[in-house]
């Protein structure tokens, strides 16, 4: 699995914010000077971050270099949001990215406890990511479903997608790196997303009957760039699927 198939938590949430902007796109304040293609530039910065041929950062120097790309992408998204987003879009983006911005600040603070814990597990997680392709494929195939189902099914489909991906990655990481690494991975998710998924998605899981009826079977190959889902097409830019 190449670095393109690995999307660190901070980058993943930022990518979701870019996708949310596209999904909620409406006439923007500065018509001529604002265009969704500007979001492609924000996404391109994250693409450089995720395409590190060595995989995830395993040293403080590598981590600091990657933080530079993350900060550039964050500034790009904030600048576009400030100039071009509608009030509703700004509110949605702030809600989605609030946790990830806090995570970014600590993740990129030299000598922070989070950096220390991250570097402790980084080498093993870097190896474990090479076995996670099946999890990423299942997630992308599931995301393609989320925007196609009826509105009253979108939250259940989103919860099912999230739960299935977390369950899959937890099993793989635990088998390779142990429970402590899984706990750290879940800490990153909670920091980035707060406990909102746990609250909204109570009762959903990979073996839930509704999830099985909503999501494609495990192992389904995503359409990727050929999908009608904006979220999936953006996701493809990072995964290469």
Contact between residue 148 and residue 209 where contact means Cβ atoms under 8 Å apart: no
- What local confidence, expressed as pLDDT, does residue 137 receive? 84
Q: What pLDDT sits at residue 1? A: 38
Q: What is the DSSP letter of 203?
A: T
Number of domains in the chain: 1
Predicted pLDDT at 10: 56
Decide if 109 contacts 127 (C-beta within 8 A).
Answer: no
**Angle of the 179-193 helix axis to the 87-107 helix axis, nearest 10:** 140
Q: pLDDT at position 227, please?
A: 78
**Segments of the chain scoring below 50 in pLDDT:** 1-7, 23, 25-29, 32
- Structural domain range at position 139: 3-239
For every residue of 57-121, DSSP letters joined together read: --SHHHHHHHHHHHHHHHHHHHHHHHHH--HHHHHHHHHHHHHHHHHHHHHTSTT-HHHHHHHHH
pLDDT number for residue 212: 92
- Give the model's pLDDT for residue 211: 93
């Amino acid at each position: 699995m190449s670095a393109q198939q690995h999307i660190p938590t901070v980058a993943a949430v930022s990518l979701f914010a870019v996708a949310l902007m596209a999904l909620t796109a409406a006439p923007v304040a500065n018509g001529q000077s604002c265009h969704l293609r500007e979001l492609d530039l924000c996404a391109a910065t994250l693409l450089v971050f995720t395409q590190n041929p060595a995989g995830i950062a395993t040293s403080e120097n590598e981590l600091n270099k990657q933080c530079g790309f993350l900060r550039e992408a964050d500034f790009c998204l904030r600048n576009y949001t400030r100039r071009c987003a509608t009030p509703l879009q700004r509110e949605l983006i702030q809600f989605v990215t609030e946790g990830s911005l806090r995570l970014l600040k600590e993740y990129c603070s030299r000598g922070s406890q989070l950096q220390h814990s991250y570097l402790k597990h980084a080498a093993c997680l870097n190896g474990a990511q090479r076995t996670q392709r099946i999890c990423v494929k299942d997630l992308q195939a599931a995301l393609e479903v989320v925007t196609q189902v009826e509105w009253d099914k979108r939250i259940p489909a989103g919860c099912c997608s999230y739960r299935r991906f977390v369950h899959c990655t937890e099993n793989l990481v635990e088998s390779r790196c142990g429970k402590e690494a899984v706990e750290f991975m879940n800490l990153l998710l909670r920091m980035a997303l707060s406990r909102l998924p746990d609250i909204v998605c109570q009762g959903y899981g990979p073996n839930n009957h509704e999830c099985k009826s909503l999501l494609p079977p495990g192992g389904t190959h995503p359409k990727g760039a050929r999908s009608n889902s904006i979220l999936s097409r953006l996701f493809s830019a990072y995964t290469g699927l």
